[in-house]
Amino acid sequence: MNLIFLGPPGAGKGTQAQRLEKEAGARQLSTGDMLREAVASGSEIGRRAKAIMDKGELVSDEVVIGIVGERLGQERQGFILDGFPRTVAQAEALDRLLAEKKLKLDRVVEFAVDDEALVDRLSGRFNCKSCGAMYHDRHKRPKVAGLCDRCGGREFLRRPDDNPETIRTRLAAYARQTAPLLPYYRGKGLLLTVDGMADIAQVAGLIDRALGQKG
């Protein structure tokens, strides 16, 4: 199944994409992760992207579309686009890429959440340094403190853009540039909306039911 997860930063897209990757085999394609890899590699694209990401603004459509174009289409059991597309130009480019690669989008899942909760979610989250598993100070702590549930790693990272000022810029970028994608995909009959305010297990159930996989 080929999916897009759409919603503001902190809505739970990454958490649910990681879960579906594990349970259903679909591949999570996160442009944020790809850009952070480019930053870590010290490439020219990475250096330019870092300054923009640190401010909470969007990296240029051209760069992001190029990165996705290189990756998309290598998945055997479908993909979950997480954080892409983020502008109408990216959505139109995705339509062209899918047509070129003879792929079809099955659903776009919107995570509906309110802004107040997002600041709380973003400011408490951290990842395992080795496997990327996501945690939260209040909502999803490792089962054993200081030890990753998934790989046993002992080092964790917090994203530099998960600070209150950058979070506000990222939420504004979502409202201005990404929210117009909701009518775009509704018009194509692909949009499903789930309540992203529920807890992680409940959101998982809502997504599975909406996609017709369980229950």
Active site residues: 13, 86, 125, 159, 170
In the bound complex, what is the minimum distance in angstroms from residue 52's beta carbon to ligand AMP? 5
Question: Which has the closest alpha carbon to 74: 47, 101, 110, 94?
Answer: 101
Residue 64 sits in the site that holds ligand AMP (CB under 6 A): yes
In the bound complex, what is the minimum distance in angstroms from residue 83's beta carbon to ligand AMP? 3
Residue 5 sits in the site that holds ligand AMP (CB under 6 A): no
State which H helix or E strand residue 109 sits in. strand 107-112
Q: What is the CA radius of gyration of the chain?
A: 17
**Half-sphere exposure of residue 138: CA atoms within 13 angstroms, side-chain side:** 8
Contacting residue, 3, 6, 26, 58, with ligand AMP by CB under 6 A: 58
What does the block give as tokens for 98?
A: 């899918």
Looking at the Cβ atoms of 19 and 170, the one nearer to ligand AMP is 170
Rounded Cα distance, 111 and 63, in Å: 25
Let me know: does 29 contact 13? Beta carbons within 8 Å: no
In the bound complex, what is the minimum distance in angstroms from residue 144's beta carbon to ligand AMP? 27
Question: Which has the closest alpha carbon to 194: 183, 206, 204?
Answer: 206
Residue 181 sits in the site that holds ligand AMP (CB under 6 A): no
Looking at the Cβ atoms of 39 and 209, the one nearer to ligand AMP is 39
Number of residues in contact with ligand AMP under rule CB under 6 A: 17
Binding to ligand AMP in span 85-114, by CB under 6 A: 86, 90
Q: Strands 191-195 and 134-136, how do they pair?
A: unpaired
Rounded Cα distance, 49 and 27, in Å: 24
One-letter identity of residue 56? G
Residue 31 sits in the site that holds ligand AMP (CB under 6 A): yes
Contacting residue, 7, 8, 12, 83, with ligand AMP by CB under 6 A: 83
Residue 19 sits in the site that holds ligand AMP (CB under 6 A): no
What does the block give as tokens for 23?
A: 């349970």
Residue 170 sits in the site that holds ligand AMP (CB under 6 A): yes
Give the number of other CB atoms < 10 A from CB of residue 22: 11
Residue 84 sits in the site that holds ligand AMP (CB under 6 A): yes
Question: Which residue number places its CB atom closest to ligand AMP?
Answer: 32
Residues lying near ligand AMP in the complex (CB under 6 A) are found at 9, 31-32, 35, 52-53, 56-59, 64, 83-84, 86, 90, 161, 170
